[in-house]
């Protein structure tokens, strides 16, 4: 059942029907009578516009493409998808997704594929926050970088968690609880390509230093439960007596927790702990970990909004705040 049919049934021309069904009857001053007839006919015949035809005609698809290295595989990052999808849906768009596995060739192919399909916008997302070398992204349709940024390019739109601010938050959490003389940071790994760790660390340092407090000591470890357990274990065996630690993510926190436990240290009684990510894991551990959350859903939402309504943003670079997920891993210090 085509627009023609509806028009015929309502005894108007296709044009009139088109305008009415697209909610533009006002600007054409169409008779209320015709309007009703058309709407009823459409309803009665179960008319649905043919999107392919509309697409061809308008060179627009109400579709936004999301290319990712592996967003849909990450265990939390998928919330980015959810957020983006929801926001896109709000605005009458659907999400076309594809993963590249990080392979540049597939990346190009997928990109072309999406452009061929005339997506109205593109989100280029990475699982882990990082700096990328500019892939050959077009200027039209609008592209937004999600969870990544192009080194030194401030004009390219991008959405990132405010890791630095998150670092400050984490530090403040401990400072407010009375710790300050010494804060230990677990998990800085100089080898990682990811931006998150260093940014979080700088945030922590800045917060401490601004208050005239000493820089934190650092325990290096991979971002992995088992590695962290081992690293913290030997650190403790070397005689460390931490009172307040910041783990650079929840998996490290889990490993640290296990190590503390093995060493007879109790959280939060003997050592207070704060971490990052705000994953479900933080809530599963005992005690529940207080964690500075990566706002994945929000990131996705903002990215989609940025694609569909760039004008609603003043800056091309959007930092999304990292809220705190409260747990029971911080004890207020009583002197």
In the complex, what is the shortest distance from the CB of residue 77 to a copy of itself, in angstroms, rounded to a whole number? 8
- 112 binding a copy of itself? (CB under 8 A): yes
- 2 binding DNA? (CB under 7 A): yes
Q: Which is nearer to a copy of itself, 117 or 193 (CB)?
A: 117
Q: Which is nearer to DNA, 58 or 154 (CB)?
A: 58
In the complex, what is the shortest distance from the CB of residue 156 to DNA, in angstroms, rounded to a whole number? 28
In the complex, what is the shortest distance from the CB of residue 166 to a copy of itself, in angstroms, rounded to a whole number? 21
Q: Which position among 59, 136, 140, 151 is part of the footprint of a copy of itself (CB under 8 A)?
A: 59
- 73 binding a copy of itself? (CB under 8 A): yes
- 139 binding a copy of itself? (CB under 8 A): no
SS3 track for the chain? CCHHHHHHHHCCCHHHHHHHHCCCHHHHCCCHHHHHHHHHHHHHHCCCCCHHHHHHHHCCCCEEEEEECCHHHCCCCHHHHHHHHHHHHHCCCEEEEEECCCCHHHHHHHHHHHHHCCCCEEEEEEEEEEEECCCCCCCCCCEEEEEEEECCCCCCCEEEECHHHHHHHHHHHHHHCCCCCCCEEECCCCCCCCCHHHHHHHHHHHHHHHCCCCCCEEECCCCCHHHHHHHHHHHHHCCCCCCEEEECCHHHHHHHHHHHHHCCCCCCCCCEEEEEECCHHHHHCCCCCEEEECCHHHHHHHHHHHHHCHHHCCCCEEEECCCEECCCCCCCCCC
In the complex, what is the shortest distance from the CB of residue 257 to a copy of itself, in angstroms, rounded to a whole number? 10
Q: Which position among 8, 45, 54, 213 is part of the footprint of DNA (CB under 7 A)?
A: 54
Binding site partner of 229, from a copy of itself, DNA, none, Cβ cut-off 5-8 A by kind = a copy of itself
Q: Which is nearer to a copy of itself, 200 or 229 (CB)?
A: 229
- 185 binding a copy of itself? (CB under 8 A): no
Stretch that binds a copy of itself, among 115-123, 170-178, 184-192, 324-332 (CB under 8 A): 115-123
In the complex, what is the shortest distance from the CB of residue 48 to a copy of itself, in angstroms, rounded to a whole number? 5
């Amino acid at each position: 059942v085509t627009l023609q049919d509806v028009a015929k049934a309502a005894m108007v021309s296709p044009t009139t029907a088109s305008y009415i069904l697209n909610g533009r009857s006002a600007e054409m001053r169409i008779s209320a009578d015709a309007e009703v007839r058309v709407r009823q006919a459409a309803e009665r015949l179960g008319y649905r516009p043919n999107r392919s035809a509309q697409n061809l005609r308008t060179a627009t698809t109400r579709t936004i493409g999301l290319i990712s290295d592996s967003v849909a595989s990450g265990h939390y990052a998928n919330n980015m998808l959810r957020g983006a999808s929801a926001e896109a849906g709000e605005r009458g768009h659907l999400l076309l997704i594809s993963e590249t596995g990080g392979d540049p060739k597939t990346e190009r192919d997928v990109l072309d594929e999406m452009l061929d399909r005339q997506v109205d916008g593109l989100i280029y997302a990475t699982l882990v926050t990082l700096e990328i070398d500019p892939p050959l992204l077009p200027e039209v349709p609008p592209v937004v970088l999600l969870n990544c940024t192009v080194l030194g390019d401030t004009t390219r739109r991008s959405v990132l968690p405010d890791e630095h601010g998150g670092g400050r938050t984490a530090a403040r959490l401990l400072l407010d609880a009375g710790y300050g003389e010494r804060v230990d940071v677990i998990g800085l790994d100089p080898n990682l390509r990811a931006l998150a760790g260093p940014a979080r660390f700088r945030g922590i340092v800045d917060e401490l230093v601004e208050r005239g407090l000493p820089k934190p000591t650092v325990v290096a470890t991979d971002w992995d439960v088992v590695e962290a357990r081992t690293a913290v274990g030997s650190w403790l065996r070397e005689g460390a007596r931490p009172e307040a630690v910041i783990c650079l993510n929840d998996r490290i926190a889990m490993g640290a927790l296990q190590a503390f436990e093995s060493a007879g240290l109790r959280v939060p009684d003997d050592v207070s702990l704060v971490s990052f990510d705000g994953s479900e894991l933080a809530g599963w551990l005992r005690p529940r970990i207080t964690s500075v959350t990566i706002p994945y859903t929000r990131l996705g939402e903002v990215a989609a909004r940025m694609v569909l309504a760039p004008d609603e943003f003043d800056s091309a670079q959007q930092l999304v705040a990292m809220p705190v997920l409260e747990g029971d891993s911080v004890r207020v210090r009583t002197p």
